Amino acid sequence: METVILDDPAALGRVAADAVVALLERRPDAVLGLATGSSPLPVYEELVRRHEAGKVSFARARAFTLDEYVGLPEDHPERYRTVIEREFTSRVDLRADALHSPDGTAEDIPAACAAYEDAILAAGGVDLQILGIGSDGHIAFNEPGSSLASRTRIKTLTRQTRSDNARFFDDDVDAVPTHCLTQGLATIMAARHLVLLATGRGKAEAVHHLVEGPVSAMWPATILQHHPHVTVLLDPAAAGRLQLAPYYRETWASKPDWQGI
């Protein structure tokens, strides 16, 4: 696990965008994994900027989102598919039919989840997965207690997550759906490179467990310690509880330019 601490979210966005651009140069039809929420926004902003500057094309790329609320109608502005289209994919040249997301309106939820797993496999798996982390340590919507071997399925959101996300629903926690479809921890672990972003003091405890704690379903993101290629991008506030922060800073400062993340 590589932990990188940089001054501000824009700097984190540039490092993650470098990795996406390098991947698409190597493999123009790469499969991207996209998270919603606030944390990845600097990455998407930077990728849009570079696309507008003619430095990257997504024309042959494919993308899979991590999760979706259950029961939000297709025209709801906070439906995760709508959010990712608004924040990112409609602003670059990714084909509309190359964006895949779990179907939170499906009548047969288990079949929709199985179909999503099949679609990821059929695409050859995710090359680079962008992740955020919840203040309770969730990744995608794998809440505490999630099986470390889980696949795409329905989950109940914790009160904490619903209250964290109420800001997108006019601060009304009761308007936040109670259920979601989410890639499982094993689904995420199958992606080839995981790039997790976390900013702000509210993430410091979860980041402390993720990077330096024992692996436990109580802090689901800790499963990433078992992945061979994980990059954790943090601002100083999110890194505030890391014991080895000086070492992570030193490692990044002395890293050869050619190496990338």
The catalytic site residues sit at 67, 136, 138, 143
The answer to whether residue 189 forms part of the interface with ligand F6R (CB under 6 A) is no
The answer to whether residue 67 forms part of the interface with ligand F6R (CB under 6 A) is yes
For residue 230, what is the enclosing H or E element?
strand 230-234
The answer to whether residue 180 forms part of the interface with ligand F6R (CB under 6 A) is no
Least CB distance to ligand F6R at residue 168 (A): 8
Least CB distance to ligand F6R at residue 56 (A): 22
**Pairing state of beta strands 99-100 and 62-65?**
parallel
The answer to whether residue 150 forms part of the interface with ligand F6R (CB under 6 A) is no
Contact 152, 33 (CB under 8 A): no
Tokens representing residue 22 in the block: 């390098």
Nearby residues of 169 by Cβ (< 8 Å), 6 or more positions away: 78, 175, 176
By C-beta, is 61 or 131 nearer to ligand F6R?
Answer: 131
Contact stretch for ligand F6R (CB under 6 A) within 56-64, 116-124, 139-147, 204-212: 139-147
d(CA 261, CA 15): 8
- Quick check: helix, strand or coil at residue 58? coil
Helices and strands (H, E) in the chain, number of each type: 8, 10
By C-beta, is 67 or 235 nearer to ligand F6R?
Answer: 67
Least CB distance to ligand F6R at residue 236 (A): 17
Nearest Cα neighbor of 12 from 252, 259, 209 is 252
The answer to whether residue 220 forms part of the interface with ligand F6R (CB under 6 A) is no
Contact 92, 157 (CB under 8 A): no
By C-beta, is 60 or 241 nearer to ligand F6R?
Answer: 241
Which of 138, 151, 208, 209 binds ligand F6R (CB under 6 A)? It is 138
Least CB distance to ligand F6R at residue 224 (A): 12
Which of 20, 24, 139, 191 binds ligand F6R (CB under 6 A)? It is 139
Q: What is the DSSP letter of 176?
A: S
Residues near ligand F6R, by CB under 6 A: 35-39, 66-67, 132-134, 138-141
